[in-house]
Structure 1
Amino acid sequence: MTTHIFIDGAAGTTGLEIRERLGDRPELTLISLSDAERKDAGARRRALNDADIVILCLPDEAAREAVSLIDNDRTKVIDASTAHRVAPGWVYGFPEISGRDIVAQSKRVSNPGCYSTGFIALVAPLVRVGLVPPDWPLASNAASGYSGGGKSMIADYEGGDVTSAFSTYALSLSHKHVPEMQTHCGLSVAPVFAPAVVPVHRGMIVDVPLPVSAMPGTPSVDAIKSTLRNVYAGSQIVRLIEDYDAATLTIERCANTDRLDLFVFADAAGTQVRLVAALDNLGKGAAGAAVQNLNILAGLEETAGLRL
């Protein structure tokens, strides 16, 4: 018996990446629609309801519409859009943070945002144990490869229309990932988030500075490392890297993988800390996370099809 999968939005960047990871796995059967059928409302509705698990790779409104077309209580949904990441009734699809059992028992799973994955992986465990107060004014700088902007941004960069080496954005301080970063870290104050795009196809760095000497309780570097080490112990996907001694860390560190590497850097006196996450914006930041959630929902090996 195989699990029937339908990727709604399979022709998009994330959909194509997910399809590559599913490959020819015999335990999965893909439901595919032709170009004409994708424009046929009836055919799409049938595919959504015939699937055991649906993965939505759509804009927010289209994702909400797709969910409304499912009229049975059997089909499970993984939504890769922003639409349901803080919505009631949806489980946040970050198994290492939300809990694998909780994800496994859910019928509605929201796939995390790419930047959010790095930020939440670093911050949520520290808030939970009280090392970072929920009302502390956090900030985060981050940079992504241009593939995070989808087909139009990929075309702009690869067509030579963009020549800048570094472009910061979300200058209105209203980036769509901030609500999930705040909610799933349990923060009472939204973090100041400063994302940027650089001219590499894929890869991501998320950096969270902590002035620990000024923070309540003066959390130690050892306590921070110990907390992250314990949370991700045994994970094949999320790793705390403790033996890193190079002078720089490149954005391509985890490119073309579904890993998430975490680092804790500190000054000699332990008064300042930088929490850093490296991931692939299309890997653990998108398609890799969706396939991980699919595996858990289907009761399969969590890392099947992933690039580790």
Structure 2
Amino acid sequence: MSQPLVFIDGDQGTTGLQIHARLGGRRDVRLFALPAESRKDARLRAEAINSADIALLCLPDDAARDAVASIRNPAVRVIDASSAHRTHPDWVYGLAELNPGQAGRIAQARRVSNPGCYPTGAIALLRPLIAAGLVPADYPLAIHAVSGYSGGGRSVVEGYENSDAQPALRLYGLALTHKHVPEIQQHAGLLERPVFVPAYGAYRQGIVLTVALHLGRLAKGVDAARLHGCLVEAYQDARHVQVAPLQPQMAELDPQALNGTDGLRLSVHGHPDHGQVLLAAVLDNLGKGAAGAAVQNLDLMLA
């Protein structure tokens, strides 16, 4: 059997470069990307995507939609790293740890939408707790996250790496219309739209994301230990997700702790006297938050 042909459309972007580097030395796939002078040629791009066994789209949302619309070959399978199809009912959501059957659905899918970096942490924390009834689906959630500047794409990366005048921390999304919110709401199982406050820090990559809970708003008997136990059970067989021990409590979280890996580390921090719990996730926005997840999904589809 010949090696599957994998076409990367958008291989010069932040995610595309990472995926290309990860796949470049592999012998189980044939890797293909258009040369620089052909990347904006719609005819050549359509020919390339229709000749592929699997196409990896590392494009802006509108360009990803156009790429999918150009597919005429029914055998072509797609992994879309943009946010264009993450809430689309006809696409399989590419978070393999979403539930026990998700990896199998990804393996069989024709169309897979790669998760966003922030949603990966938020959904991994919230979905098991909501599914178990420990956190109400209508809880008024606020989610805060700080990412390395590589999460902002090429223009933000160039701004930080070519100028000393960039702020140490840049809060954005203040209009409360961030495109990741519908993705978080849908795949976490939330009935209410969460408030999401993202930020970029003056470091290249790595995310720390937190969700605060008041125990008085949860069902009687729900505490940090029960929330932690639910997460431990949900991810006990997950290769890329680890749940930190509840004790001893960590004094701080380093957003860069998992850089260069495909890991996602979840933790629960509680203060029983105050009736408060903080859920936290740490991941590499270029690893499990982007290229790592895309390669994980590719491997499932090739199996």
TM-score range with shorter-chain normalisation?
over 0.9
TM-score w.r.t. length of structure 1? 0.94
CA–CA distance in structure 2, aligned partners of residues 48 and 260 of structure 1: 31
**1:244, distance to aligned residue in structure 2 (A):** 5.5
Residue aligned with 2:97, SS: helix
Aligned to 1:45: 46
Structure 2 matches for 1:1-308, cutoff 5 A? 1-98=2-99, 99-160=102-163, 162-242=165-245, 245-269=249-273, 271-299=275-303
CA contact 1:220–1:270 (8 Å) conserved in 2? no
CA contact 1:164–1:199 (8 Å) conserved in 2? yes
Letter in 2 for 1:18: I
Provide the identity percentage: 47
Q: For this pair of structures, how many residues does the alignment match?
A: 299
CA contact 2:119–2:180 (8 Å) conserved in 1? yes
CA–CA distance in structure 2, aligned partners of residues 227 and 263 of structure 1: 12
CA contact 1:260–1:278 (8 Å) conserved in 2? yes
Letter in 2 for 1:208: V
CA contact 2:249–2:269 (8 Å) conserved in 1? no
Residue aligned with 2:98, SS: helix
**1:101, distance to aligned residue in structure 2 (A):** 0.7
**1:270, distance to aligned residue in structure 2 (A):** 7.5
CA contact 2:171–2:198 (8 Å) conserved in 1? yes
Residue aligned with 1:97, SS: coil
CA contact 2:24–2:31 (8 Å) conserved in 1? no
Q: Deviations over 1:266-306 (max 9, x none)?
A: 1144821110000011111111111101110111xxxxxxx
CA–CA distance in structure 2, aligned partners of residues 109 and 12 of structure 1: 19
Residue aligned with 1:281, SS: coil
Residue aligned with 1:131, SS: coil
**1:32, distance to aligned residue in structure 2 (A):** 2.4
Q: Deviations over 1:101-157 (max 9, x none)?
A: 111111111111110000000001101110111111011111000000111101101
Aligned to 1:305: none
Q: 1:270 to 1:236 in 2, by over 3 A?
A: farther
Quote the RMSD (CA, aligned, Å).
Answer: 1.4
Residue aligned with 1:229, SS: helix
CA contact 1:221–1:270 (8 Å) conserved in 2? no
Letter in 2 for 1:164: P
Residue aligned with 1:101, SS: helix
CA–CA distance in structure 1, aligned partners of residues 143 and 248 of structure 2: 21
CA contact 1:131–1:217 (8 Å) conserved in 2? no
CA–CA distance in structure 1, aligned partners of residues 125 and 14 of structure 2: 26
Letter in 1 for 2:290: A
CA–CA distance in structure 1, aligned partners of residues 178 and 238 of structure 2: 29
**1:38, distance to aligned residue in structure 2 (A):** 1.8
CA contact 1:202–1:256 (8 Å) conserved in 2? no
CA–CA distance in structure 1, aligned partners of residues 165 and 186 of structure 2: 34
CA contact 1:4–1:31 (8 Å) conserved in 2? yes
CA–CA distance in structure 2, aligned partners of residues 94 and 12 of structure 1: 22
Gaps of at least 5 residues in structure 2 are none
Q: Deviations over 1:68-117 (max 9, x none)?
A: 11112111111111110101200110010051111111111111111000
Letter in 2 for 1:279: L
Consecutive aligned runs of 4 or more in structure 1 exceeding 4 Å deviation: none
Residue aligned with 1:95, SS: coil
CA–CA distance in structure 2, aligned partners of residues 91 and 42 of structure 1: 27
